[in-house]
């Protein structure tokens, strides 16, 4: 990253339980605050390209890396790092601690893929601190969503799923397809004390990940991020940890939508997203009177057209917040 292309501010926030969460700021210091929530579980901010989805002249953009990810410590790629306090309630508390730390009264929330689940969980817990929501590649991490992405999609990719399930069956942990959840089998493998077992499971998980996003991505492509062993181990470990517990969302997101009735939202989803079918975004929209659903007919779990809609949704929401702020009477 060039010296002229660095965040305006960044740091590590001590959020307790021995965890420090990395955060960074881009854009206008006096702009409308907005928080970006990355995907995964186990993703990271990467080269911070997310900032390009905002008008930086009008927005104070904050990004952070979730517990166990990226520059946050301890890192879940280290088998010795405990996941005992790595769950959705703790991540929501981390987000709120970051808001307080940065002196932000309320902010726009953006969430991508798994990040949309976490964004929804935060908004449901802290609705008074949310100016609006933009979700991209919408998920709620319900049991049915997890079972579809790890089991049901075997009907679409039978050869790849046979390899995926077969690895767990041959691993000697007693898993048999049709008798137990495959995601739980992989969660066990990724907690194995044997580093070779963990490594092999992470590679199979990465292969399945690339497979199930391939339809909307123009075909199968091996993502270069998997070359980073530390990243791959953390991603697979955290994803299976969260998915085997239905996202640690209790009650499920869709059963708590009454908390968001007054919050405006835009949901951007690809029609060709086979791993996260549009039915989830549709159900969320139907239960959220203040939401708008934009279904992109050409994209899958992301894409150029969807990204343009994402930027436009943020620009419209920030403009709306600024208009409301100008129309409010001054505080006494």
From the list 273, 276, 285, 299, the catalytic residue is: 273
Q: Across all residues in the chain, what is the average pLDDT?
A: 95
Is 94 catalytic? The answer is no
Q: Which of 113, 116, 202, 291 is catalytic?
A: 113
Of the candidates 38, 241, 285, 301, the residue annotated as catalytic is 301
Query: In angstroms, how far is CA 138 from the centroid of its own chain?
Result: 9
Contacts of 207 (CB under 8 A, 6+ apart): 160, 163, 164, 222
pLDDT at position 220 over 90: no
pLDDT by residue (tens digit) across 107-137? 999 999 999 999 999 999 999 999 999 999 9
Q: Hey, where are the domains in the chain?
A: 3-141+249-327, 144-247
Q: How far apart are CA 270 and CA 273, in angstroms?
A: 5
Q: What per-residue confidence (pLDDT) applies to 3?
A: 39
Active site residue 227: no
Instruction: Kindly tell me if the per-residue pLDDT of 2 is higher than 50.
Output: no
Give the pLDDT band of residue 217 (cuts 50, 70, 90).
Answer: low
Spacing of C-alpha 255 from chain mean position = 20
- Residues 230, 75: contact at Cβ < 8 Å? yes
Q: Is 179 exposed, middle or buried (0-12, 13-18, 19+ CB in 10 A)?
A: exposed
Whole-structure pTM value? 0.96
- Helix and strand tally (H, E) in the chain? 9, 8
The CATH number fitting domain 3-141+249-327, selected from 3.40.50.1820, 3.40.50.1000, 3.40.109.10, 1.10.10.10: 3.40.50.1820
Q: Residue ranges of the alpha helices (H) in the chain?
A: 88-101, 114-125, 143-150, 158-169, 182-189, 195-212, 229-243, 279-286, 304-327
Q: Catalytic annotation on 273?
A: yes
pLDDT 10s digits, 297-324: 999 999 999 999 999 999 999 999 999 8
What pLDDT was estimated at residue 310?
98
Q: What is the mean pLDDT of residues 54-79?
A: 97
pLDDT at 332 over 60: no
Instruction: Give pLDDT, residue 4.
Output: 56
For the cut 50, the answer to whether the pLDDT of residue 175 exceeds it is: yes
Residue whose entry in the numeric block shows the structure tokens 């239960």:
287
């Amino acid at each position: 990253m060039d010296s002229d292309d660095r965040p305006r501010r960044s740091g590590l926030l001590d959020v307790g339980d021995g965890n420090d969460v990395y955060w960074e700021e881009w854009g206008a210091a006096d702009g409308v605050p907005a928080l970006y929530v990355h995907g995964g579980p186990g993703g990271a901010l990467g080269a911070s390209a997310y900032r390009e989805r905002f008008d930086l002249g009008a927005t104070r953009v904050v990004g952070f890396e979730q517990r166990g990810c990226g520059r946050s410590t301890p890192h879940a790629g280290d088998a010795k790092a405990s996941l005992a306090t790595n769950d959705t309630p703790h991540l929501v508390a981390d987000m709120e601690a970051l808001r307080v730390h940065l002196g932000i009264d309320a902010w726009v929330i953006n969430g991508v893929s798994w990040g949309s689940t976490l964004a929804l969980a935060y908004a449901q817990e802290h609705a008074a601190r949310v100016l609006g929501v933009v979700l991209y590649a919408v998920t709620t991490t319900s049991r049915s969503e997890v079972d579809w992405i790890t089991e049901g999609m075997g009907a679409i990719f039978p050869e790849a799923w046979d390899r995926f399930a077969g690895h767990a069956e041959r691993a000697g942990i007693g898993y048999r397809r049709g008798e137990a959840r495959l995601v739980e089998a992989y969660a066990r493998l990724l907690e194995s004390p044997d580093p070779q077992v963990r490594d092999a499971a992470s590679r199979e998980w990465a292969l399945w990940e690339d497979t199930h996003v391939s339809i909307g991505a123009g075909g199968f492509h091996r993502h270069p991020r998997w070359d980073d062993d530390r990243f791959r181990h953390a991603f697979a470990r955290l994803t299976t940890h969260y998915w085997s517990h239905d996202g640690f969302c209790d009650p499920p997101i869709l059963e708590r939508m009454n908390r968001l009735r007054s919050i405006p939202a835009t949901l951007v989803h690809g029609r060709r997203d086979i791993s996260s079918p549009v039915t989830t975004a549709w159900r969320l929209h139907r239960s959220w009177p203040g939401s708008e659903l934009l279904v992109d007919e050409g994209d899958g779990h992301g894409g150029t057209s969807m990204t343009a809609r994402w930027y436009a949704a943020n620009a419209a929401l920030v403009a709306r917040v600024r208009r409301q702020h100008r129309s409010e009477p001054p505080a006494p």
